[in-house]
A and B are shown apart, each in its own frame.
Chain A
């Protein structure tokens, strides 16, 4: 087991006053709190900082830790508590929340089980909640669908953690949205003894679609059209999430113009959203010969300044 230098973790002097320890903790906690800092590694860092503070903020625990530090505090060196070591400031001096290191538990953890979850804070030994990411295709959100899921739950046996694989079939309600969490009661980690199991949360992630973009409950589809289709108008077939539809493009349409197709968006509590077809004028890759001559004719005969806005400002 590695000796943990709590002073170093908090970046304070071993002779630091309680108020400096508190200030150092607060600063690091703000920086690394996993609810604020989504970066990988932040949570581990936060746990380390919280553990250091748990020890150093308490006068008795700090005194015991300082004793041990003199005894075995070689950073990087192996550490074993002295034979017969028993903390008087650890177990019984209040409960700890958060899961602490083996080092912490070997010193203060009489009866404190490693890996205990936050949800056990205070009382009860309910099983841990589990959250898994659930990718969903836009097509699947239109109606209630059932999907098989596989996940792992940690099970504590004789102080050891074992991962057990679980499989379930779950109903995904119609109209789920990005970031939503579906709760499956009692499908998390089992509780201890008679205590209830934790819940399983499915974190919905809408898979980016090759054609459609999501905007609230509406969808957007980009429709490429030829310049002459924009000029003369056209009828084009446009894909929707459920089947194709025909769309009339009016003469003299503009690039970026949006055409609304009612009721072809995503499902929501208040009915179905709309689909917006966004026009994108696309040029042929190359125009030679006759086509070029026709463009030239158009250029000669059309009085059109696409940059009229600029000349106004100049």
Chain B
């Protein structure tokens, strides 16, 4: 049985992505993601969802050549879109139970 986890430490994240701890700190300082636990940056642990957003933020900043404020805004909107899409598909499913079959 393979051990599965819903977490990743900042050290592992930096190793995986080939980025510096400082970069992750910057992303966190812009409110793009929040560590799950750990007081100081070297002790930070993220859930895999937050790690995913940090990854996206770093890619977007590099690929689109935009500043962190813009990246944070894009991430905010992407999260909102994801939320709305999920809500929308759930509401549609519920609606189908009440509406008549066509």
In the bound complex, CA of A26 to CA of B98 (Å): 46
Residues of B within 8 Å of A179, CB to CB, are: 49, 82, 86
Whether A170 touches B18, Cβ cut-off 8 Å, given contacts A180-B6, A182-B48, A183-B6, is no
Of the listed stretches A114-122, A153-161, A305-313, chain B binds: A114-122
A123 with B60, Cβ < 8 A, contacts A173-B4, A208-B93, A222-B98 known:
no
Q: How far is the CB of A210 from chain B (nearest CB, A)?
A: 10
Instruction: Give Cα A173 to B4, complex, Å.
Output: 8
In the complex, the answer to whether B18 meets A171 with C-beta atoms within 8 Å is no
Number of residue pairs A-B, CB distance < 8 angstroms = 99
Which residues of the partner chain B approach A168 to less than 8 Å between Cβ atoms? 2
Given A119-B18, A126-B16, A198-B16, check contact A184 B3 (CB 8 Å). yes
Contact indicator A50/B63 (Cβ below 8 Å): yes
Cβ distance B99 to chain A, nearest Cβ, rounded Å: 11
Q: Are B48 and A33 in contact (CB under 8 A)?
A: no
Q: Which residues of B contact A91 (CB under 8 A)?
A: none
Query: Given contacts A35-B59, A181-B48, are A120 and B4 in contact (CB under 8 A)?
Result: no
Give min CB distance, B3 to chain A, whole Å: 7
A interface: dominant SS: mixed
Which residue numbers of A lie inside 8 Å of B, CB to CB? Answer: 22, 26, 29-30, 33, 35-36, 46, 50, 97, 118-124, 126, 129, 146, 168-173, 178-185, 187, 196, 198-199, 201-202, 208, 213-215, 220, 222, 280
Known: A26-B65, A50-B63, A178-B86. A36 touches B74 (CB 8 A): yes
For residue B7, CB closer than 8 A to chain A, the reply is yes
If A180-B48, A222-B94 are given as contacts, then 5 extra A-B residue pairs at C-beta distance below 8 Å, sorted by A number, are A179-B82, A180-B6, A180-B49, A182-B5, A222-B98
Q: How far is the CA of A49 from the CA of B6 in the complex (A)?
A: 34
Complex interface: chain A residues within 8 A of B69 (CB): none
- Please give me the residue from chain B that is nearest to A168 by CB atom: B2
Do A181 and B65 have beta carbons less than 8 Å apart?
no
| Chain B hits for A146, CB < 8 A | 1
Quick check: A119 and B3 within 8 Å, CB to CB? Answer: no
Task: Write out the residue numbers on chain A whose beta carbons fall within 8 Å of the beta carbon of B64.
Answer: 26, 29-30, 33
A-B pairs, top 9 by smallest CB distance, nearest first, are A181-B48, A122-B18, A222-B97, A121-B18, A35-B56, A182-B4, A213-B94, A183-B5, A183-B48
- Please, which residues of chain A bring their CB within 8 A of the CB of B48? 180-183, 201
Minimum distance in angstroms from B13 CB to a CB of chain A: 10
Q: Measured between C-beta atoms, what is the minimum distance from B69 to chain A in Å?
A: 16
Q: Is B15 an interface residue (CB 8 A)?
A: yes
Measured CB to CB, the nearest residue on chain A to B62 is: A97
Provide the bound-state CA to CA distance between A122 and B4, in Å: 28
Complex: how many Å from CA A162 to CA B86?
A: 36
B16 neighbours in A (Cβ, 8 Å): 119, 126, 129, 198-199
Cα–Cα, bound, A214→B15 (Å): 37
In the complex, how many angstroms separate the beta carbon of A147 from the nearest chain B beta carbon?
10
25 contacts between A and B (CB under 8 A): A26-B64, A29-B63, A29-B64, A33-B59, A36-B74, A36-B78, A119-B18, A120-B18, A121-B18, A122-B18, A126-B15, A146-B1, A170-B2, A170-B4, A171-B2, A171-B3, A173-B4, A182-B5, A184-B4, A196-B15, A202-B4, A208-B93, A213-B94, A214-B90, A222-B97
Is A169 touching B63 in the complex (CB atoms < 8 A)? no
**Given A119-B17, A129-B16, A208-B93, A35-B49 contact (CB < 8 Å):** no
Q: Is residue B8 contacting chain A, with contact meaning CB distance below 8 A? A: yes
Residue on A nearest B85 in the bound complex, by CB = A38
Asked if B42 is at the interface of the complex by the 8 Å CB criterion, the answer is: no
Closest to A121 in B: B18
